[in-house]
Amino acid sequence: MNLTLNRTDLIRSESLLDGAWVAASDGRRLEVINPATGDTIGQVPDCSAEDGRAAVDAAQRAFGLFRHTVARDRAALLMRWHALVLANAEDLARLMSLEQGKPLAESRTEVAYGASYISWFAEEAKRGGGDIIPEQHANHRLLVIKQPVGVVAAITPWNFPMAMLARKIAPAIAAGCAVVCKPAEDTPLTALAMAALLQEAGAPAGLVNVLTTSRERAAGLADTWLEDFRVRKISFTGSTPVGKHLARQSADTLKRLSLELGGNAPFIVFEDADLDAAVAGLMVAKFRNAGQTCICPNRVYVHQGVYERFIDKLAARVGSLTIGPATSGAEIGPLINARAVDKVESHLQDALGRGAKIVVGGGRHHCAEAPNGHFFTPTVVADVDASMRMSCEETFGPLVPVTPFSTDEEVIALANDTPYGLAAYFYSRDIDRVWQVAEAIEAGMVAVNDGALSTEIAPFGGIKESGYGREGSRYGLDEYLNIKYIRHGNLAARQPA
Ligand code: NAP
């Protein structure tokens, strides 16, 4: 399978700042590694705090003009970006597979998914109207208008490098905001390619600035944005500890925050479930991106009456998954880096030490085609209990822990016994149970008899320590808008005609 790009100019080696492609001010660079092979596939700037300040200067200038644009023009800009993303979808997908490792089919799906947020918010831009409030006095008029919050800092993770960026930048532009953006150290190339296409679509200089940086410098760069009063909003997708840090550090300037953080999703199979459908749903939800998704099931609870049958069916499917680099057409790619593999392995060892049993898989995978890749064999572990690390922490890998339960009350208590509250899944054909469980589960998103949740038309986001704010849907634009109430008094009182 070929991962070379048709448009090699989409592989950028500089950051986008104030409409220009630039190196870091101190010249530092950072290597981009293919996680399947360990090969260096590019170099990008390792931007500093000083670059971060320059990006806010540029964004603030751009915002001064862009805030006055009309919704129809902002929508048109987004639709031009959308068209360019679709026209270059194959290149974006290949670039993503190269630096992130996910199978090409998944990268293609992500590009289509990310693009759907751009067209969605192009439409929403035209619908973000305000309100007229019925007046209490005949000589008053009361209305509500919505205005862009200002400069937005968008910080994105490596697991969905295209879609996470699109679903922050598109609503920001739709609302009339300017953006400073920092992609993850592991996946800067997809972000820069998206920025290049946005520039090609006609975005004015400084409207969206994308600065790449190393993990070592990430906090220093982001701190300048947290301290800067001109940055009025942070939109962050990433881990809960970093999200809490951002919330603490932005308190002094009271920024608006959208935090899409970590998850620990339960996946419950009741005794009346369609077991084949439940296995199929779990395969989709769990193994996308090799289990490196914030909404992937991290704890699987199966009623004891169907426990053995479910595990047999699941093991047959998991045991047949193919593993390899994106070039091989395999279903499971590498994990993002060596630390990720270490974490999955430590979760497995911890569970085995406490009495859990491997059903299928169980360890690192050596790939002859890519001997330096960070592969882990898809693994099912049975008899997991709540004391094990894989029940309490996000594993972020292709590991399925399965726990038996006997009553609805017991499993709802288990499912909710976590500080996280992002996604939850369950399978049942009992209509009363469906509603009771859907309402009792503490999560921002619940899938009933389905393994998929994400779509641009529905609100994506969590509760508890999975964060706050929603992306996509008709709620997503408001995250980037301030509400202003205007009272016009002392008008001539309305007279009968
Ligand atoms: P992460 O370490 O929190 O990193 C996310 C982003 O924050 C990266 O760009 C990272 O830069 C940056 N960052 C790290 N430390 C920072 C700091 N002190 N200040 C400002 N920015 C900082 O998370 P990750 O490992 O990349 O991603 C996995 C996590 O994201 C998981 O917990 C997953 O559940 C969560 N996630 C959530 C969602 C959702 O929608 N809820 C979606 C996807 C992922 P570097 O890469 O340079 O470190």
pLDDT tens-digit series, residues 352-375: 999 999 999 999 999 988 999 999
Mean pLDDT value across residues 452-461: 97
CA of 239 to the centre of ligand 1 (A): 5
Question: Strands, E, within 65-169: which ranges?
Answer: 131-133, 141-148, 151-155
- Would the pLDDT of 1 be above 70? no
Q: Which residue in 106, 124, 260, 394 is the catalytic one?
A: 260
Q: Which residue in 47, 294, 296, 367 is the catalytic one?
A: 294
CB of residue 262 inside a 6 A radius of ligand 1:
yes
CB of residue 238 inside a 6 A radius of ligand 1:
yes
Q: Is 394 a catalytic residue?
A: no
Nearest-CA residue for atom 19 of ligand 1: 219
- The side-by-side arrangement of strands in the sheet containing 399-405 is 357-360, 379-382, 399-405, 297-303, 265-269, 423-427, 445-448
Output 89-94 pairs: Cβ under 8 A, ≥24 positions apart.
89/115, 90/6, 91/5, 91/6, 91/7, 91/10, 91/193, 92/10, 92/162, 92/190, 92/193, 92/194, 94/2, 94/3, 94/4, 94/5
Angle 67-72-73 from CA coordinates, rounded to 5°: 60
CB of residue 397 inside a 6 A radius of ligand 1:
no
- Would the pLDDT of 233 be above 80? yes
Q: Where are the alpha helices (DSSP H) in 11-69?
A: 49-66
CB of residue 239 inside a 6 A radius of ligand 1:
yes
CA of 261 to the centre of ligand 1 (A): 8
Nearest-CA residue for atom 39 of ligand 1: 260
CA of 317 to the centre of ligand 1 (A): 31
- Would the pLDDT of 497 be above 80? no
Segment 387-434, tens digit of pLDDT? 999 999 999 999 999 999 999 999 999 999 999 999 999 999 999 999
Angle 197-202-208 from CA coordinates, rounded to 5°: 70
Quote the percentage of the chain above a pLDDT of 90. 97
How distant, in Å, are the alpha carbons of 56, 248, 432 from that of 229? 10, 15, 50
Q: Which of 484, 474, 480, 482 is nearest to 153 (CA)?
A: 480
- Point out the ligand 1 atom lying closest to the alpha carbon of residue 242: 3
Range with the poorest average pLDDT among 242-251, 323-332, 433-442 = 323-332
What predicted TM-score, i.e. pTM, was given to this entire model?
0.96
Q: Is 294 a catalytic residue?
A: yes
CA of 276 to the centre of ligand 1 (A): 34
**Torsion on CA atoms 213, 215, 218, 219, rounded to nearest 10:** -170
Mean pLDDT value across residues 143-164: 98
Nearest-CA residue for atom 48 of ligand 1: 215
CB of residue 140 inside a 6 A radius of ligand 1:
no
- Reported as a pLDDT band with limits 50, 70 and 90, residue 2 is confident
CB of residue 231 inside a 6 A radius of ligand 1:
no
- Reported as a pLDDT band with limits 50, 70 and 90, residue 87 is very high
What 3-state DSSP class applies to 126?
Answer: coil
Segment 279-319, tens digit of pLDDT? 999 999 999 999 999 999 999 999 999 999 999 999 999 99
Q: Supply 402's token pair.
A: 């399965």
- Other C-beta atoms closer than 10 Å to the C-beta of 401 total 25
CA of 232 to the centre of ligand 1 (A): 20
For the chain, the average pLDDT equals 97
Residue 3 to residue 95: CA distance in whole angstroms: 7
Contacts of 259 (CB under 8 A, 6+ apart): 236, 243, 246, 247, 467, 468, 469
Contacts of 403 (CB under 8 A, 6+ apart): 299, 300, 301, 302, 383, 384, 385, 386, 391, 414
CA of 165 to the centre of ligand 1 (A): 12
Q: Supply 310's token pair.
A: 């479910």
CB of residue 184 inside a 6 A radius of ligand 1:
yes
CB of residue 212 inside a 6 A radius of ligand 1:
no
Phi and psi, residue 376, nearest 5° = -135, 135
